[in-house]
Structure 1
């Protein structure tokens, strides 16, 4: 590689790394507890478990569950109702003052079999894990914060690619994994930085890419609604949001959706007027029962008045990419083993980012000192620009 080309790649690697490093450190630090959010939730008491009952215990009508939830917060409306991936025996009812997205929500947890109230007012908008989540997702800045972090993720990908380009000629002179302990402290840290950078390369690229995609979620969903649902909703144009008194039992909507897509499981239901539905439908989001298909959602739009299925569109490729990237980002595919691997790689990435920042700070102090050329013969691009 020509010297001029190396200098260009070194400049790209230097500035893309420096600009994103502090934010990537923040994301790695906040992402570490989020990998174990279920386990930490159990410790903090924010994870609720259903009491043990025979597996064939029948479930009560969803309308009874909603009636109980509304009685706890009569001043609020039901925005979503959902089930977790782990069990079908618990309903999570999300209630707000308005159908629009808001941080002011309450979650009522109800036993799906007995309609027993398990948690009347569980809050997910406070506490340690909520702070970690908001810092990781949007820096408490909403959509602008998400897009900013997405741009930082893009710079991370640029830094990774440029680092690989610079690492290739560097390693022609050294064996893989070499740490030159007899050299200066800066050179030893540089070798460790390069070694762990290559070891974590694929993981950091995958996590950075999926994290960047996740920051586009709000925009992707809005585009999907405009692109895929506008023709479906054309017959309802001009009609007001269906009132609660005019709606058919929600259990009928759920049954109709399950019959439309046999062999699926419920993920959540979005009610009329909310961000994931239309003003006229209960939108039932179903998922598969296999490890991969369990992360993919199939929306079924059910008329809230008649309980008739209006549409069950296949999700487009860009929404599939979003749904796959979300669990992959946090290592939610492979159980506990995957979580541990993700955590170890996260810690290694913190080291890579921290040493990169250290090397840049040390470079200024060492600039006036003579360069040790005893073993290398000349300064490598990596010694000049970490």
Structure 2
């Protein structure tokens, strides 16, 4: 049983943490909804690569040929990343840049993995999904925007915990899920807000917690670069810079021999944040539902195609990799996407109703302040 002072403290926490983060949580729920179905929306808008049907055992093109196709589309640029979708190995997505560390003016070419023919050139810096993704991840503000949204997610978690604490004393005189329809509009909204809030509590907490972890992605990657990655490339610390890259296909084949039970997730070119100036970083993934989200880097000498190191990622990057698909409902296929979308819509109502209740309470307080004391007491009695 909470004391009156404890109730006031929890109520204050719930009120102000909710108010500060609500507008941003509304934005994140609205932008997150299309991101749950980003593949489906991409196909609908015609922005996804559509490879031709071929026999399952059709021969695969060399990755060197794939790179030649991509580089021919954008002369003067160099390789940055090569990746495949988890559930479709028919397409290689080649990201090109002016320098290995460029953040702007990136180009991507989707190349058929069987014929090495260009399929599409996805736009990385424009379009509906680009706007939704940028608003959801960093508010178009890079790392400061990510960290700010991480702080909003922390306030959300405090609001959820405080709301759960307050729910028990609030429901002491009511049946579970009861909505007092005979009372005022504000009371009905309050009951609906509390009901839907407690129903979505666990989901919203999971999404909020994984979202907060995702905002630390850049910092966690940097910690890995200065820690484990620095150890892996230490023998090349004083090596002269590369003048020419060796075969990408040979490097990938070496990584596959190193990890024969894993598949390619993505390849980082020398000099990028996921490799060294002297290595291809070939990131392998598992083949099961959970292990497919977990990556293992294999560093391959970019000239000799020899594997120089391979080790599991540290726990904090593993936590990040597990949280990313959980945040968007990517673990259970279409049924989980639909459940995530339904819960997202319900959460929009919870957030909107909370904002409405605060505004309605302020309006009522102003009206009471303008009434004569006797009438104000009568109104308070009727509203209690």
Quickly name the TM-score band, shorter chain normalised: over 0.9
1:252-281 Cα offsets, whole Å, 9 max, x none, are: 110111111121111100000011111110
Structure 1's unaligned 5+ residue stretches are 380-386
Matched residue, 1:334: 332
Matched residue, 1:236: 236
Residues in 2 aligned to 1:364 and 1:143: alpha-carbon distance in whole angstroms: 36
Matched residue, 2:312: 314
Matched residue, 1:68: 69
> Cα offset for 1:294?
0.7
Matched residue, 1:31: 32
Match of 1:284 among 257, 282, 285: 282
Matched residue, 2:189: 189
Q: Would you say how many aligned residue pairs link Structure 1 and Structure 2?
A: 373
Matched residue, 1:355: 353
The answer as to whether partners of 1:92 and 1:107 remain within 8 angstroms in 2 is yes
Matched residue, 1:8: 9
Matched residue, 1:202: 202
Matched residue, 2:95: 94
* Counterparts in 2 of 1:137 and 1:240: CA distance versus 1, 3 Å: farther
Residues in 1 aligned to 2:62 and 2:166: alpha-carbon distance in whole angstroms: 62
1:116 pairs with 2:121: no
Matched residue, 1:382: none
Residues in 2 aligned to 1:233 and 1:336: alpha-carbon distance in whole angstroms: 41
Q: Which moved more, 1:94-103 or 1:262-271?
A: 94-103
The answer as to whether partners of 1:108 and 1:122 remain within 8 angstroms in 2 is yes
* Counterparts in 2 of 1:178 and 1:61: CA distance versus 1, 3 Å: same
> Cα offset for 1:114?
1.0
Aligned Cα root-mean-square deviation (Å) = 1.3
> Cα offset for 1:234?
1.5
Report the secondary structure of 1:159's partner residue.
helix
The answer as to whether partners of 1:77 and 1:97 remain within 8 angstroms in 2 is yes
Structure 2's unaligned 5+ residue stretches are 369-375
Matched residue, 1:178: 178
Residues in 2 aligned to 1:38 and 1:372: alpha-carbon distance in whole angstroms: 53
Report the secondary structure of 1:83's partner residue.
strand
Show the 5 A alignment for 1:194-273: 194-243=194-243, 245=244, 247-273=245-271
> Cα offset for 1:233?
1.6
Report the secondary structure of 2:232's partner residue.
coil
Query: TM-score, normalization: structure 2?
Result: 0.95
Structure with higher helix content: 2
* Counterparts in 2 of 1:95 and 1:207: CA distance versus 1, 3 Å: same
Report the secondary structure of 1:89's partner residue.
strand
Matched residue, 1:383: none
> Cα offset for 1:238?
3.1
Report the secondary structure of 2:17's partner residue.
helix
Show the 5 A alignment for 1:54-65: 54-65=55-66
Residues in 2 aligned to 1:47 and 1:298: alpha-carbon distance in whole angstroms: 27
